[in-house]
Amino acid sequence: MTVVDIVCIGAAEWRGIWARAQQLMVRLAQRGHRILYVDPPITYLAPLKNRDLLQRRWQSAGRLEEVEPGRIWRLEPPIFLPFHGMRRSLNSMNQRRLGRSLRRRLGQLGWEQPLLWTYLPGSCDLLSAGIDWRYVVYDCVDDHAAFTGLIDPAVMADMESDLARRADAVFASARALQEKMRRFRPDVLLVPNAADVEHFAQAAGTAGDAAGLETTEGRKDSEDIGGVKDLKNGAGDLKNADYHREQKPADLPSGYRHIIGFIGGIGDWIDTALLAAAARAHKDWALALIGPVETDVTALQALPNVFFLGRKPYAVLPDYVRCFDVCLSPFRLNELTMSVNPVKVYEYLAAGKPVISTALPEVLPFSPIVTVCEGAEAFVASIETAFAEDSPEKQAERMALARQHSWDARLTAMLDKIGEGWGCV
């Protein structure tokens, strides 16, 4: 096998929600390749919306950090000009700026002809930014033109079609995205999301309740992902060695009959009305929400049995999921979510937990193992049924389904496709 240097343009921060890009890059590093992960850019307007970015990203723009010695590095890109999702000319200027930063860092690392693996349509202009890319991969995991905010859908679609045509390999995480990409790339390969099965299977022990949490035997304090130690902690600073896995996390609510859980970004794609309906229906249910809040959640904050726990390190997520009696995937049904293949569903299944989901096209094939429902009344009723009917047999069935969808298998399929045109990965 030839060692390949890979520049990954991520759609989420390396230390953000641990998802497809980080999972694949970690496994590529385990196979011997070297990874430079580029966090998504912020613009000069970003601190107006989120003051935290002044401290967390503004001062460190352009910084190169070694995450795993000799294997993985993280680059914070330069600050971008705003409105690059609305004007192709501005995107081109930003990508040239990023190209200059990358050329400097690639020289520092001694990388001469890297592979580009990108998740952002704007990378179309990075292909002309003075870097000799050995191979270009576009991994399409979102309908970018359907996002809200400072985006012109026509401009975004134009950039994405340009990138898809010029890439050497194109992947799609959902059938709707595959159909969309086929207009530009008939050879697009469908590669759905997956779970880190072994990691979340740790949550399959006895669930906690208001009285505490029983100890799960056979657990390790030090974890690996595909042989790369501690990289799961890239989502935060807490090391497994400092954390007793059998403990119930201290910030989980106590004194409730059941804990219903959600893990993920809470944006305008999440149906907060469904969550509120569940919390109002049963005051003895605690609703625990883990992840960054990026939309108006005033109605939920007003409910005493709803708890916003914020971001958590990836390493400790199984400890929270173990305490959930039911796990939720409450996406709104709209243009954006029609192409969502939710990672969280795979992770919940790997933990053996009952899963209640709205009727996303990508989730429907998992029914009835995943309970799919529409409307607040059905949503609440499905949670009630899950409490009453859960069993060890159903838990085993969920975990067996999850084992069919591992990140290692997904990466192998992608590398097989890349190997058809290159032959060295």
Per residue in 375-418, pLDDT (tens digit) is 999 999 999 999 999 999 999 999 999 999 999 999 999 999 99
Domain housing 11: 5-194+407-421
Residues 181, 126, single domain; the answer is yes
Residues 164, 37, single domain; the answer is yes
What is the domain-level CATH number for residue 53? 3.40.50.2000
Residues 233, 102, single domain; the answer is no
DSSP H helical ranges for 190-232: 197-201
* CA pair distance 278, 272, nearest whole angstrom: 10
Residues 125, 169, single domain; the answer is yes
Residues 189, 212, single domain; the answer is no
pLDDT digits (tens, 9 = 90+) for 152-202: 999 999 999 999 999 999 999 999 999 999 999 999 999 999 999 999 999
pLDDT at 241 over 60: no
Which residues contact residue 384 at a Cβ distance below 8 angstroms, ignoring those fewer than 6 apart? none
Task: Output the CA torsion 334→338→344→348 (10° steps).
Answer: 100
In the 8-state DSSP scheme, what is residue 393?
H
Q: Which of 327, 373, 329, 330 is nearest to 352 (CA)?
A: 327
- Contact indicator for 317, 196 with CB cutoff of 8 Å: no
Residue 395 pLDDT: 97
Residues 246, 183, single domain; the answer is no
Residues 155, 264, single domain; the answer is no
Residue 43 pLDDT: 85
pLDDT at 55 over 80: no
Residue 50 pLDDT: 67
* CA pair distance 108, 180, nearest whole angstrom: 38
Mean pLDDT of the chain: 88
- Contact indicator for 359, 365 with CB cutoff of 8 Å: no
Residue 220 pLDDT: 30
pLDDT at 232 over 70: no
As beta bridge partners, residue 38 has 9, 75
> Per-residue b/e over 112-132, b at no fewer than 16 CB within 10 Å?
eebbbbbbbbbbbbbbebebe
Residues 307, 243, single domain; the answer is yes
Beta pairing, strands 228-229 & 224-225: antiparallel
Residue 238 pLDDT: 29
Question: In which element (H, E) is residue 299 found?
Answer: helix 298-301
The total number of structural domains that make up the chain: 2
Residue 59 pLDDT: 67
Residues 356, 217, single domain; the answer is yes
As beta bridge partners, residue 139 has 171
E strands, 352-404, where?
355-358, 371-373
pLDDT digits (tens, 9 = 90+) for 106-155: 999 999 999 999 999 999 999 999 999 999 999 999 999 999 888 899 99
Residue 5 CA neighbour count, 13 Å, CB half: 16
In the 8-state DSSP scheme, what is residue 80?
B
pLDDT at 23 over 70: yes
pLDDT at 226 over 60: no
Residue 215 pLDDT: 29
As beta bridge partners, residue 228 has 225
Residues 134, 163, single domain; the answer is yes
State yes or no: cis peptide before 368, omega within 30 of 0. Answer: yes
Residues 92, 158, single domain; the answer is yes
pLDDT at 242 over 60: no
Residue owning tokens 């799961």: 232
Q: Taking residues 314-322, report their average pLDDT.
A: 97
Q: What does R_g of the chain's alpha carbons equal in angstroms?
A: 21
Encoded tokens for 60: 């460190």
- Contact indicator for 76, 58 with CB cutoff of 8 Å: no
Handedness of CA 164, 165, 167, 171 (dihedral sign): positive
SS3 label, residue 190: strand
Q: Which residue has the higher pLDDT, 52 or 45?
A: 45
Q: Taking residues 53-57, report their average pLDDT.
A: 63
Residues 228, 359, single domain; the answer is yes
Q: Which of 322, 182, 311, 186 is nearest to 249 (CA)?
A: 322
* CA pair distance 425, 420, nearest whole angstrom: 10
Indicate the pTM of the whole model.
Answer: 0.89
Residue 42 CA neighbour count, 13 Å, CB half: 22
pLDDT band with cut points at 50, 70 and 90 for residue 42: confident
Q: Taking residues 340-364, report their average pLDDT.
A: 98
Q: Which residue has the higher pLDDT, 247 or 416?
A: 416
